[in-house]
Structure 1
Amino acid sequence: MVLKAFGAQIGDRSDVRGSVKVWYPPHLILRDRSILADGVDCYNMAPIYIGSDTIVSQRAYLCAGTHDFEDPHFQLIARPIEIGDNVWVAAEAFVGPGVKIQEGVVLGARAVACSNLDPWLIYAGNPAKALRPRSTTGRRGKEG
């Protein structure tokens, strides 16, 4: 309720745990039946979009900004993050600025995504690498 009061868009039956940190609520879009678990950090100086039926697990870090380290003024660069439907961002994973995570992806625990992730694949590691396809038979939220 507090996030909505400050401009976040939170979908039906979504859950944002009390220990979640959201830097700028108007830049958070969380669609239906999605979860931001305990300790998630949304450093969203640019918009962060999270699709339906998606889980962002404990202490994951969604970072929509970086700095131009070649610039003597170390200017901020803010780039939106898009996380699709039916995604699982596992515990303590990092998603960097401008990353688009396609539908159905699993990003493993403590994995680091600094580039776009293709749909229905399982990723792990630093940097995140595709391990294998994910079955599409376990899709959630399609029944209504």
Structure 2
Amino acid sequence: MNSHAPIDLSQAPGARESWDRPLSTVLLWALVELLVVRNPWQLSSRLRVMALRRFGAQIGEGVIARPGLRVRFPWKLTVGDRSWIGEDVWLHNQDALDIGADVVVSQGTFITTGTHAFRTDMALRTRPIRIDDGVWVTSRCMVLGGAHIGESALILPNTVVKGAVPANSLYGSDTAGVVGQRFPDDSSASTQAR
């Protein structure tokens, strides 16, 4: 049995260091994102792209941004020409997110550059993500910080992506299982000490 006490989240370090902008900018972006970018109505994709650019996103020509899009920090986002970001995609980019040209990110996908130091103090940890040209991230995938998806790869639905994905590959799996323990087992540590 594990005797580790839960982490006291009231003592966890804050995440404002990832903002890179004053509070007023972050709050104004939250309002614009809600009213224009995240809006579920079929507003103009050009309007969404214009709002993202106004807040520092580097977005190429011919990009389609569908309703329900969420972007944490547009000033950390780059999207290449002719890419398509589908409905209800969440770009939780607390670090650099670089999406190439002719990329499709399909409905319901969650891309996050952040995680937490879950074994210690829950401090924010971020790593950039790179998605190369011609990639298709299909529906309801999750792409984690540090991922690099190679050119023209296709990520199968409901796949969790971490690390490197080779170019021109079909990537994904429908299996899941226990991969390790959150905290070391106290009984194995005391056995090793004997």
Could you tell me which runs of 5 or more consecutive residues in structure 1 were left unpaired when the two chains were aligned: 129-144
Closer, same or farther in 2 for the Cα pair 1:55/1:127, shift >3 Å? farther
The answer to whether 1:116 aligns with 2:164 is: yes
Structure 1 counterpart of 2:40 = none
Residue 37 in structure 1 maps to residue 122 in structure 2 = no
> What's the TM-score once normalised by structure 1's chain length?
0.85
Partners of 1:79 and 1:16 in 2: CA distance: 24
Following superposition of structure 1 onto structure 2, how do residues 1-144 of structure 1 map, counting pairs within 5 Å?
Answer: 1-71=50-120, 73-125=121-173
- Counterpart-to-counterpart distance in 2, 1:121 and 1:38: 24
Could you tell me whether the CA contact under 8 Å between 1:111 and 1:127 is conserved in 2? no
Query: Matches of 1:69 and 1:92 in 2, distance apart?
Result: 24
Give 1:64 shift: 0.5
Q: Structure 2-normalised TM-score?
A: 0.63
The SS at the match of 1:62 is strand
SS in 2 for 1:26: helix
Structure 1's consecutive aligned runs of 4 or more residues displaced over 4 angstroms after TM superposition are none
CA-CA distance at 1:127 after TM superposition: 7.5
Distance in 1 separating the partners of 2:64 and 2:174? 28
Gaps of 5+ in 2: 1-49, 177-194
C-alpha distance after superposition, 1:41-86 (max 9, x if no partner):
0000001100000100001110100011122x21110100000000
Change (3 A) 1:127 1:79: farther
**Secondary structure at the counterpart of residue 4 of structure 1:** helix
Q: CA RMSD in A?
A: 1.4
Counting aligned pairs with the same residue, the percent is 34
| 1:18 Cα deviation from its structure 2 partner | 3.0
For the residue of structure 2 that corresponds to 1:77, the secondary structure is: strand
Greater share of strand = 1
In 2: Cα distance, 1:40 partner to 1:127 partner: 23
Question: Which shows bigger deviation, 14-23 or 86-95?
Answer: 14-23
Q: CA deviation at 1:26?
A: 0.4
Task: Name whichever structure is richer in helix by fraction.
Answer: 2
SS of the residue aligned with 2:164? coil
